[in-house]
Amino acid sequence: MKNVVFKIIFLFTLVLGFSSQAQSKKWTIQECVDYALKNNISIKQTDLDAQTTAISKKDAIGNFLPTINANTSHSWNIGLNQNITTGLLQNQTTQFTSAGLNSSIDIYNGLQNQNRLRRANLSILSAQYQLTKMKDDISLNVANAFLQILFNKENLKVQKEQLANDEKQQKRSEELVASGVVPRGDLLDVKATVAADKQRVVTAENTLFLSKLSLAQLLQLDDFKDFDIADADYEVKPSATMLETPEDIIAKAKQERVELKIAKTNLEIAEKDVKIAKGAFQPSLSGFYSFSSRVSYADRILFDSSGFPYTAGALPFFDQFSNNKGHNFGMQLNIPVLNGLSIKNNVERSKIAFERSKTVEKQATLDLERNVYTAITDAKGALNAYESATTTLEARKEAFNYAKEKYAVGMMNSFDYNQAQLLYANAQSEVIRTKYDYIFKVKVVEFYFGIPIIENK
């Protein structure tokens, strides 16, 4: 009995340990990206599209194989028929069994089968590029959402620190008002500041929760209430990619990014569609073969040695099957002459689709160049904003320390002191915002340069 109780207690403790461990789990950015790549619905759908293209390739391969179909039937003929013995008409039932085998194969059809196979291979390649692009986009979105949570966390800390400082000031002001050192109006200003600080803390908490919710939904997590990320200290470091010229970054992006690869592959697919459509203008040659046999269950009329007829039963099944077998084989040539302009119209449609694919490829190139230039400009602007915010923070910090000294000796009222403190807190928040904004935008530039968002270690 003691052993049973001990096992129950051990299992209960183990379950509680696992539950606590699950709730306290904090996700790293690498774990977030890996989980998203495995569980995101958009990625799963794109992967299914890639699997569909693989099946289409099997269809294209199957066009080279011969078709083989077997058929069999058994029939009953009931009604007025001639009796083979008496020659008179009478109601009777006769049965027949027939079987056959048909086969055909394309010998030449304007190279349509070959072009369909090449098209299927290109479709597989395009689907793989689409899957890669989807994974890149999801990784980028996850990284952005992760950095947004880090910003909101640090911003919440700043707001809480300011609230704590103002609450200390309120307590001190209450003591000074009680002793008659400062007027009551200063205390009211401090209380209003504390109330505003509490409101900012609530707003920061809500913003942090919503950013966590956004990332949890991006990861397709069901239990998002306990979701949290591991704290990480990202420093603003110089990026070697930013030292490259825009022309070099664009040239590397054209080699690495799948957007252009997708456009080029789709252009090749459209070209194959034109060839497939034109192939229908050419004659097609196919070979065929068929085998058939028939079995009857009706009585037979035979003649004896004297020449008198007599009735005998049907021959055995397999004897009849062997005696009645027949073969048919040959080749068939089909030459398109007039088909309601359907072939010509298909060719024209394919040519239009091909021209459209050309424009899509050109547009993809222009979009990539514009996006790279925009990313570089945004990253440089974010760096300037971060440096300006850092300089502003240093000035606001000195101004706040000076205000603190003046307020301590009664040379500044509480309203001006609170304004100096508020400006200092806003400068802290701005440094945090510009910091993570710059980190993300540099990541985007590096992403175009071929550097993964998250590098596996």
Question: d(Cα 199, Cα 193) in Å, to the nearest integer?
Answer: 10
Report yes or no on 4 lying in a domain.
no
- Supply the CATH number for residue 277's domain: 1.20.1600.10
Q: Does one domain contain both 139 and 176?
A: yes
208 shares its domain with 145: yes
* 321 three-state secondary structure: helix
Among candidate residues 416, 414, 364, 358, the one with its CA nearest the CA of residue 182 = 414
Asked if residue 387 belongs to a domain, the reply is yes
Q: Which run of H or of E encompasses 228?
A: none
**Among candidate residues 335, 354, 370, the one where a domain is terminated:** 335
- Please write the tens of the pLDDT for every residue from 92-108: 777 888 999 999 999 99
Q: Are residues 320 and 380 in the same domain?
A: no
| 187 shares its domain with 97 | no
Split into its structural domains, the chain has a count of 2
Residues 156 and 299 in one domain: no
Within this chain, do residues 175 and 215 fall inside the same structural domain, yes or no? Answer: yes
Q: Is 39 part of any domain?
A: yes
Same domain, yes or no: 133 and 223 = yes
**Is position 1 within any domain?**
no
User: Per-residue pLDDT for the chain (457 aa), expressed as one digit of tens each?
Assistant: 445 433 444 444 444 343 444 445 889 999 999 999 998 888 999 999 999 999 999 999 999 999 999 999 988 888 776 655 456 666 777 788 899 999 999 999 999 999 999 999 999 999 999 999 999 999 999 999 999 999 999 899 888 988 888 888 788 777 777 776 667 777 787 788 889 889 999 999 999 999 999 999 888 887 777 888 888 777 888 888 898 999 999 999 999 899 999 999 999 999 999 999 999 999 999 999 999 998 887 766 666 777 776 666 678 888 888 888 899 999 999 999 888 888 999 999 999 999 999 999 999 999 999 999 999 999 999 999 999 999 999 999 999 999 888 877 778 877 788 888 889 988 999 999 999 999 999 999 999 998 887 764 3
- The alpha carbon dihedral of 238, 242, 243, 249 has a sign of positive
40 in a domain, yes or no?
A: yes
190-207 per-position pLDDT tens digit: 788 889 889 999 999 999
- In-domain check, residue 6: no
| Residue 263 placed within a domain | yes
The reply to whether 296 and 186 lie within a common domain is no
Domain co-membership, 192 together with 233: yes
User: What distance in Å separates the CA atoms of residue 150 and residue 276, rounded to the nearest whole number?
Assistant: 54
Here the tokens at position 84 are 């083979």
Based on the domain organization, do 322 and 174 belong to the same domain?
no
Q: Are residues 83 and 170 in the same domain?
A: no
- Whether residue 401 sits in one domain with residue 301: no
Expressed as residue numbers, the domain containing 296 is 73-108+289-335
Asked if residue 5 is part of any domain, the answer here is: no
